Chains A and B, each alone.
Chain A
Amino acid sequence: MSRWLPRMYLTLVYVLLYVPIAVLIVFSFNDSRTGYAWGGWSLRWYEALFNNTAMVKAMWNSLWLALSAATISTLIGALTALALHRYRFRGKRMLNGMLFVVMMSPEIVLAISLLALFLLVGLQLGFISLLLAHVTFCLPFVVITVMARLSGFDESLPEAARDLGASDFTMTRTVLIPVIMPALLAGWLLGFTLSLDDVVVSTFTSGPAYEILPLRIYSMVRVGLKPEVNAVGTLLLVFSLVMLMISQWILTRSKQ
């Protein structure tokens, strides 16, 4: 079979996948006001972005939310993974099942179920509701990352620690945590990007009091083209890409 045909096909699809991203990045430096025609290079849209107080506020809100959600989901996710890996307890299958449901169900289903919960318990929609929602959808990804790390791990070490009289907590702290550290870092970074980029769940679980960046972008892009969006979109894409690269780098390095 000829070898160049599959290669050309692969290349073509990759080009199609990346052209829109490239166009967005290039157009974020476009000096033109209309957004379609090329008017020369310029940083004016980035300037406009940082002079827009509401936008900057939304950016900080998003960063703070992503930071908190990633940290809490890493904490709970790591404990969940440890529990699933080490303990035998009733309802383990159900726990696994719930994590699976979170990961597989369409985002909008998760979103409305959380909205229903928050409104019925009378929780004001804002930072707290967003945080609870984001931690919930980040959780399975952290659990999977940590579980993958634990599954390739020599069981004799924790046993030795226990035989030497270490309590469960001490053993976890001194033996398991160092082993899963790369997975924790990677899981945290993944959670951070997931939270930062989420639109669907946030649309349902945020209130007017706490505006975050993706929702601000959402309200801007529904009508027409906004050159400012090119700039903020580029920033978001590049930021996520860097985070993703770091997390992959940590994971591959720790395997060697």
Chain B
Amino acid sequence: MLNVRQQPFRAAVLVLVWGWLLFLVLTPNLLVVGASVMTRNPSTFISLPLNLDAYRQLFDSLYLEVFLHSLYMASVTTVICLVIGYPFAWALSKVGKQRQILLIFLLIVPFWTNSLVRTYALKLILATNGLLNTALMSLGVIDAPLRLLYTETAVIIGLVYLLLPFMILPLYSVFDDLRQDLLLASHDLGAGRLATFIHVIVPLTLPGILAGVMLVLLPAMGLFFVPDVLGGSRNLLIGNVIKNQFLDARDWPFGAAASIVLTLAMALLMFAHRLSKRRLGEEGGS
């Protein structure tokens, strides 16, 4: 390779890039790790001594309840996304290539549009005198309006609506790679549809399932504006707790500890995803 000293351009590029990432990615993340083991301080936010009180606080009954409820709502959201998304991705991978490009574009559009505005749009539909109730009542399906807004159901609907594309895209990519000859082989060896699905299709699409779960489950615990807009005060997410602790209560150690738990969960899911991919690679290679 060329000498760094003879290459001012190369040196400048590397300094800029490294500088930016070290200052705005690495340092802040280390700060959060540091803050989580320090003591709360009203004037400087954090101070010594070091301790694990913030992590212990996570298990206080009040917060534990919020966390478990948030985890519950996120899990339900993930399962619904998987149930809707799995057959969807399958069907999508069977569409002709030309049309697929357009359909995938339609799927990623929501990713680039304002999710807060789209959450708000759901409010127009779910409200007591909103479109859904008006439609159902005029059709005679229900007599009195359903109370949907400001309930757990509304939060889950909102999360599914925002996160469904994140489940579908990784699933689509594994279905797109699914080798049809393996399915034929399974059929030729006498496996029925159900057996083929359980023993061939599910294992082959497992990396996609795990990637989808990762991309849905974690944001589903962090999107604090969804409960703010649709859920009222009783259906909080971990994201709401982190936000309150940092911006209102100014309890940094606690907020940081909560965020680290979220990050660890992400790391765990990523590890599982990598593992499943590697196993698949080994089996495919042999």
Any chain B CB within 8 A of the CB of A99?
A: yes
Residues of chain B within 8 A of A240, CB atoms compared: 112-114
Count the B residues whose beta carbon is within 8 Å of the partner chain — how many? Answer: 82
Any chain B CB within 8 A of the CB of A102?
A: yes
C-alpha gap A139/B17 in the complex (Å):
10
Contact of B28 among A114, A139, A199 (CB under 8 A): A114
Residues of chain A within 8 A of B185, CB atoms compared: none
Q: How many A-B residue pairs have CB under 8 A?
A: 222
Residues of chain A within 8 A of B225, CB atoms compared: 199-200, 218
C-alpha gap A95/B229 in the complex (Å):
37
- Inter-subunit contact A222/B1 (CB<8 Å): no
Q: With A20-B124, A105-B263, A116-B252 given, is the CB distance from A10 to B25 under 8 Å?
A: no
Closest B residue, CB atoms, query A34: B129
Residues of chain A within 8 A of B25, CB atoms compared: 98, 101-102, 136
Residues of chain A within 8 A of B242, CB atoms compared: 108, 112
* Most interface-central of A17, A18, A113, A168 (chain B CB within 10 A): A113
Q: With A24-B121, A116-B32, A199-B114 given, is the CB distance from A106 to B219 under 8 Å?
A: yes
- Inter-subunit contact A95/B21 (CB<8 Å): yes
Interface residues in A118-140 by Cβ distance below 8 A to B read: 119-120, 132-133, 135-136, 139
Contact of B114 among A14, A116, A236 (CB under 8 A): A236
- Inter-subunit contact B123/A200 (CB<8 Å): no
Closest B residue, CB atoms, query A217: B116
Q: With A24-B117, A35-B124 given, is the CB distance from A168 to B10 under 8 Å?
A: yes
C-alpha gap A88/B124 in the complex (Å):
54
Any chain A CB within 8 A of the CB of B63?
A: no
- Inter-subunit contact A9/B91 (CB<8 Å): yes
C-alpha gap A241/B165 in the complex (Å):
16
Size category of the A interface is: 35 or more
Contact of B113 among A6, A167, A229, A237 (CB under 8 A): A237
- Inter-subunit contact A197/B21 (CB<8 Å): no
Any chain B CB within 8 A of the CB of A19?
A: yes
Q: With A112-B259, A116-B31, A197-B115 given, is the CB distance from A23 to B124 under 8 Å?
A: yes
Interface stretch of the complex, out of A78-86, A152-160, A177-185 = A78-86
- Inter-subunit contact B87/A116 (CB<8 Å): no
A-B pairs with lowest CB-CB distance, top 5: A113-B28, A6-B91, A233-B117, A20-B121, A24-B121
A interface residues with partner B (beta carbon < 8 Å): 6-7, 9-10, 13-14, 16-21, 23-24, 27, 35-37, 76, 79-80, 82-83, 87-89, 91, 95, 98-99, 101-102, 104-110, 112-117, 119-120, 132-133, 135-136, 139, 167-169, 172, 190, 193-194, 196-197, 199-200, 203-204, 214, 217-218, 221-222, 225, 229-230, 233, 236-237, 240-241, 243-244, 248
Sample of 7 A–B contacts (CB below 8 Å): A10-B95, A10-B103, A20-B122, A20-B161, A21-B121, A109-B262, A236-B114
* Beyond A36-B124, A237-B117, A240-B113, 5 extra complex contacts between A and B, CB < 8 Å: A10-B92, A113-B31, A193-B112, A214-B114, A233-B120
